[in-house]
Amino acid sequence: MRQTSVIARRVAAASVSLVLASGAAACAGPQDNDAGGGGDGKPRKGGTLTVLNSNPQTDFDPARLYTSGGGNVPSLVFRTLTTRNREDGAAGAQVVPDLATGLGTPSENATVWTYTLKKGLKYEDGTAITTADIKYGIERSFAAELSGGAPYLRDWLIGGADYQGPYKDAKGLDSIETPDERTIVFHLNKPEGEFPYLATQTQFTPVPKAKDKGTKYEEHPLSSGPYKVVKNENDGERLLLERNPHWSAATDAERKAYPDTVEVRSGLDSSVINQRLSASQGADARAVTTDTNLGPAELAKVSGDKQLAARVGTGHFGYTNYIAFNPKVKPFDDPKVRQAIAYAVDRSSVINAAGGSSLAEPATTYLPNQKSFGYTPYDHFPAGTSGNPQKAQELLKDAGYAKGLTVTLTHSNAKDFETSPEIATALQDALKKAGITVKLEGLEDNEYRDTIHSAKTEPGFFLAHWGADWPSGGPFLAPIFDGRQIVKDGANFNTGFLNDKTVNDEIDAINKLTNLDAAAERWGALDRKIGEQALTVPLFHPVYKRLYGKDVKNIVISDWTGVLDISQVSVK
């Protein structure tokens, strides 16, 4: 998941549930009415669900979607070999079968993965879904004109690095075999025990070659899910979805698909979305959002209203906000300087700058504090809640800076509570107590991203954040700390330029594991080991607080996405 924004990634603990804003736990849905259900309180089919979002649902093509950036909307139309488990909290961080009968059968070294499709799978036009369609759907995602999706297939599939897609190479990828209509086999460059996670990406959506219209396919993609696209206006600004008559719940244990219709309205101002959800008038009473948080002021208002507080969903997503160092830039080449800054950090003030404890949780580990990531508690440079300037000063003295030093902290000027000027200022104030004078360099967001992601321009000391494409330590640690992923001429995410053979070898060893629980334990141990080098200073994990309409029921928020799952809700 690329370092862009909370919403976009990679569109923030081991447990996520619907909670009252006052902190008292609630069950999965309103308790004072039968909104969205029958007299027995159970969810019922029917009605129209409205989705009010800030970000337009652009490029509604499975090849171009970066799954985690698409909220839940794409999964209503596009089914894949595997999918996320649609349950609350930690249980929702599990991968489960979707179009496939299982999670895949790996070869002994996890370089070959074989899947079998369920029987009776059909598109919206009643034709059968075949493995040839899945192979073609993957291949078209390699076409330059359909770029934008997750990059893993290009790296993992044999021949993927040079393949240009079916429009230029009709022969296709030999590394994807379809011996019959229900069997598909993938041949990988190297062991990948987490292939079942990758198979949740929208690139694994079946696309019949005969129906492919290139860049215009997004206007009416053929549905394999419970809903089909009826309208797509202004490139996803308004999407209207209606039931796919050929979808069968017997082949889909995950999507409940209670509403008859789903209408997505996006490109809206976040304050407008929260006002509409708060008022819950007309169609807005049956509305939700998958990308708009409550801000600090809005949350304070909601917390004072018992009825509104009961309509706040709280979610955690695998995401970490942190300080990054470039050890090629002085004085950050000295580990003692990096450690001193780690000791000096006042996480309480940082969290206040990020919106308060309701919207951010302190972090001392790089991996998020969820079991699926392999979370292993550690705090190598304990600063307490308000910093340890005395210990920081001792380390600075040992490093030759007894009279202190002056450094520059680069951050984005975007008001996103992640790399914002407020967080930078909080760090500036804390480090001053340790004798470190911090000059702030605020950049416009695009310039900020270009600067920190280039090996040629990366500053020595800057704010960063990272989120996972699936709930595992692999897509969290490998892009940031695998030395073989350092990019000299392009987008580089290994900000510390770490190229440690023991770390690289351990990443390879973990990737061979097909037991995901065993792999998680190893990822946690590796996080702890890397943390000793102080190449990053974890600051906080974001928390999502989102309103939903008063006539919405059956709220499910998993640790996979951290947002309300619209495939589960029912409306009145």
What's the one-letter identity of residue 416?
D
Give residue-wise pLDDT tens across range 183-235.
999 999 999 999 999 999 999 999 999 999 999 999 999 999 999 999 999 98
pLDDT per position as a tens digit, 399-410: 999 999 999 999
Position with higher pLDDT, 103 vs 296: 103
| pLDDT at residue 10, as a whole number | 30
Burial of 382 (0-12, 13-18, 19+ CB in 10 A): exposed
DSSP 150: -
Nearest to 153 by CA among 179, 183, 168, 173: 173
Eight-class DSSP state of 223: P
Q: Which pLDDT does position 430 carry in this prediction?
A: 98
Instruction: Work out the number of other CB atoms within 10 angstroms of the CB of residue 50.
Output: 23
For the chain, counts of helices (H) and of strands (E): 15, 20
Q: What is the pLDDT of residues 136-167, one digit of tens each?
A: 999 999 999 998 888 899 999 999 999 999 99
Q: What's the rounded Cα separation, in Å, for the pair 433 and 426?
A: 12
- Rounded to a whole number of angstroms, the distance between the first and last alpha carbons of the chain is 36
Say if CB 206 and CB 134 are below 8 A apart. Answer: yes
Give per-residue pLDDT as tens, 325-383: 999 999 999 999 999 999 999 999 999 999 999 999 999 999 999 999 999 999 999 99
Q: What is the pLDDT of residue 9?
A: 33
Q: What is the 3-state secondary structure (H, E, C) of 376-434?
A: CCCCCCCCCCCCCHHHHHHHHHHCCCCCCEEEEEEEECCCCCCCCHHHHHHHHHHHHCC
Residues ≥6 apart with Cβ < 8 Å to 446: none
Sequence-separated (6 or more) residues with CB below 8 Å from residue 290:
51, 53, 71, 72, 73, 546, 563, 564, 566
Q: The pTM is what?
A: 0.90
Q: What structural domains and CATH numbers belong to the chain? A: 79-226 (3.40.190.10), 319-544 (3.10.105.10)
Please give the Cα distance from 449 to 443 (Å, whole number): 9
Mean pLDDT (the chain, rounded): 91
pLDDT tens digits along 313-335: 999 999 999 999 999 999 999 99
- Please report the pLDDT score of residue 419 as a whole number: 63
The answer to whether residue 19 scores a pLDDT higher than 50 is no
CA dist., res. 156 & res. 147, Å (int): 17
Handedness of CA 224, 225, 230, 235 (dihedral sign): negative
Work out the percent of the chain whose per-residue pLDDT is above 70: 91
Residue 36 has pLDDT above 90, yes or no: no
Pair 18, 313: CB distance under 8 Å: yes
DSSP reduced 3-state for 531: helix
